[in-house]
Amino acid sequence: MAMSDWKVPSSLQPKAGDYEFDLEHALSSVLQISSIVPENAFSAATLGTERAGNAVVIGDDGLVLTIGYLVNEAESIWLRANDGRVAQGHVLGIDQSSGFALVQPLGELGLPALKFGDSDAPQIGDEVILAGGGGRQRSIAGRVVARQQFAGYWEYLVDNAIFTSPSHPNWGGTALIGEAGQLLGIGSLQLEHSRGAGKSENINMVVPINLLKPVLRDIVKRGEPDRPPRPWIGVYATEVEKKVVLMGITDRGPGKRADLRTGDVVLAVAGAPVVDLASFYKGLWGLGEAGVEAPLTVYRDGRKFNVTVKTGDRNRVANAPRLH
């Protein structure tokens, strides 16, 4: 599958002489990845049916790591090495908690695996590379600009996420490479970051690789971590003045069945106040595993009321991966 032809400005590209490790060897582990998702897939409406980004080889057997939204429910996946070789791939599994996805190539690419580093190590100001498939011309030399919790609107939370700048223009699935040439994380999002005085810049949020280490073997063997799935209610939420407001409800989710509506303000979970997305999600997940009932206090149209949502498992609403 053809990829668009673009380059990172030369001033932002990493230079081999700036690093003590073999830059070209490390970048050769990073691939381009593209996927096709059927129109009836649960994620098609929000993520589209044609997706493209990056991935990185992490196993001597060719095992590939990327970010889950690029391959979730995919019916076909293509991997492209920097030298132009192409192979199909198959999703082994996705960890919904972290967002990582593992893909097994169905052909031999013969690429080196990028070794894991310690993603707790990089601190603000440290030099890093955010590498995309396509080599140095699609990679950015940048710095860590923040280490903090990140809460996403889709019932997602990462503690101690890594934020980098300048922003990579094709951030999804990029490989965060540290000063020792090791893999520290996988690029997930582009966000706007305030610099004060009315100025802002785009930065990338990177999921730390340490989140993968405890569950890697489980995902390879059984398609998901060997732990109870988190409760999921199928809402999209945002923070407004220390309140959590529902800005969308998925059609096939528990929240829809419980008659949650766009514009609802979630005030409490099981009586515990909700003041931000993190407290909302932690309140839900602290109730038990998927299937548990979640008592919510909601504000709508000038009145406060209680509603109980029978939670579900996010993995069970998605189409299963296809093996070619």
Nearest to 158 by CA among 209, 222, 117, 116: 209
Q: What is the Cα 252 distance to its own chain's centre? A: 22
Please list the residues that pair with 232 across neighbouring strands. 312
Q: What is the pLDDT of residue 322?
A: 53
Q: Give a three-class secondary structure readout of the chain.
A: CCCCCCCCCHHHCCCHHHCCCCHHHHHCCEEEEEEECCCCCCCHHHHCCEEEEEEEECCCCCCEEEEHHHCCCCCEEEEECCCCCEEEEEEEEECCCCCEEEEEECCCCCCCCCCECCCCCCCCCCEEEEECCCHHHHEEEEEEEEEEEEEECCCEEEEEEEEEECCCCCCCCCEEECCCCCEEEEEEEEEEEEEECCEEEEEEEEEEHHHCCCCHHHHHHHCCCCCCCCCECCEEEEECCCCEEEEEECCCCHHHHCCCCCCCEEEEECCEECCCHHHHHHHHHCCCCCCCEEEEEEEECCEEEEEEEECECHHHHCCCCCCC
Instruction: Dump pLDDT digits (tens) for 43-100.
Output: 999 999 999 999 999 999 999 999 999 999 999 999 999 999 999 999 999 999 999 9
Give CA–CA dist 64/92, Å, rounded: 10
Cis preceding linkage at 225, omega within 30: no
Q: What is the pLDDT of residue 1?
A: 40
Residue 150 has pLDDT above 80, yes or no: yes
Give CA–CA dist 247/232, Å, rounded: 16
How many C-beta atoms lie closer than 10 Å to residue 80's C-beta? 21
Residue 200 has pLDDT above 90, yes or no: no
Residue 210 has pLDDT above 70, yes or no: yes
Residue 33 has pLDDT above 70, yes or no: yes
CA angle 76, 78, 80 (to 5 degrees): 180
pLDDT confidence band for 199 (50 / 70 / 90): confident
pTM of the model as a whole: 0.94
Give CA–CA dist 141/253, Å, rounded: 41
Query: Domains of the chain (ranges plus CATH)?
Result: 16-113 (2.40.10.10), 127-211 (2.40.10.10), 235-317 (2.30.42.10)
Bridge-based pairing state of the strands 86-94 and 76-80: antiparallel
Mean pLDDT of 144-153: 97
Q: Residue 51 in contact with residue 3, Cβ under 8 Å?
A: no
Residue 4 has pLDDT above 70, yes or no: no
Give CA–CA dist 138/14, Å, rounded: 10
Residue 192 has pLDDT above 50, yes or no: yes
Instruction: Dump pLDDT digits (tens) for 230-282.
Output: 999 999 999 999 999 999 999 989 999 999 999 999 999 999 999 999 999 99
Q: What is the pLDDT of residue 2?
A: 43
CB burial readout 181-195, b (16+ within 10 A) else e: bbbbbbbbbbbebee
pLDDT > 90: percent of the chain: 90
Give CA–CA dist 129/66, Å, rounded: 16
Please give the mean pLDDT across all residues of the chain: 94
Q: What is the pLDDT of residue 324?
A: 44
